[in-house]
Structure 1
Amino acid sequence: MPHGRSDDEWDRLVEEGKRFLVEQAALRRTTTYTELNAVLARRTDVRGFDFEQGSERAALGHLLGQIADDSFAETGGLLISALVQYIDANDAGSGFYALARAKGLPVPSNAGDRQLFWAGHVGALHRHYARPGPRRRP
């Protein structure tokens, strides 16, 4: 039982988490851990993650890691978890950078360049999943 959830519950969380992140990318949006948690609970009828508990925060991080890992090839080497950030933050969480390093991506060492690396990831994910918009007339 991954993180106190049945295998079926965990699989539903992974599937719906990916679906939601793809939707956000197609809309050229990012999301927060709080919004992701609420959407997962609503869409799956599985209890949400309790952010008051470190083990639950870690479980959501593990879920995001699995979603990113599962979709890595589909995105052409991008981590879809880049779309999830803390409320009132303009950057990804540390788990994003740890997974990027584990995947062999060139994560910069200084904070400013790391933020540019993250922003580039977000932009590339938006382009990858972009929905065609209305055609503009010349």
Structure 2
Amino acid sequence: MFGRDDFEWQRLIEAGTAFLVEQARLRRTTTYTEMDATLARRTGLRRFDFSQVEERAAIGELLGRIVRSDIARTAYADGPLMLSALVMYLNENDAGTGFYVLAEELGLLSPGATRMSKERFWIDQVTLLQAHYAAPR
């Protein structure tokens, strides 16, 4: 799928999850660009080429796999949390459209939610993730 084998996907999921948990502990968000560079550095795998539609879809696929893997293995007192909420477009202050589509698929966001409802959901996800993973002060 997307020119990567199962072994590569697994490495990307593991490295991506670890990176996003680190960002949450630091109470940070990240960008697709920063995540891509970090994954390439940590795994030795090729970077995603964001100039290609298929490659942009591939990183969205990766984030979806990270969320599904994390939700499946972790029970949160605050409810299901989507690690991908921490990933934003460069120079933007919002998650990508795929984040909201996945939230709807997982039953965490109502289909047809307003822009304001989506933004509130995203902000809540970021806040809860950072609180859940925050390093003790």
TM-score by length of 2: 0.92
In 1, Cα distance between equivalents of 2:102 and 2:20: 17
- SS of aligned partner of 1:4: coil
- SS of aligned partner of 2:45: coil
**How far 1:106 moved relative to its partner?**
2.8
- Matching residue within 83, 90, 94 for 2:93: 90
- SS of aligned partner of 1:47: coil
> Which blocks of at least 5 consecutive residues in structure 2 are unaligned?
none
Tell me the number of residue pairs that the alignment of Structure 1 and Structure 2 aligns. 132
In 1, Cα distance between equivalents of 2:45 and 2:89: 22
> Which blocks of at least 5 consecutive residues in structure 1 are unaligned?
134-138
Q: Which residue of 1 aligns with 2:122?
A: 118
Q: Runs of at least 4 residues of structure 1 off by over 2 A? A: none
**How far 1:80 moved relative to its partner?**
0.6
Is the 8 Å Cα contact of residues 109 and 118 (structure 2) preserved in structure 1? no
Aligned partner letter, 1:82: A
- What percentage of residue pairs aligned between the two structures are identical? 53
RMSD, aligned α-carbons: 1.2
Within 5 Å, which residues of 2 pair with 1:7-22?
7-22=6-21
| Rg (Cα) greater in structure | 1
Q: Which moved more, 1:66-75 or 1:45-54?
A: 66-75
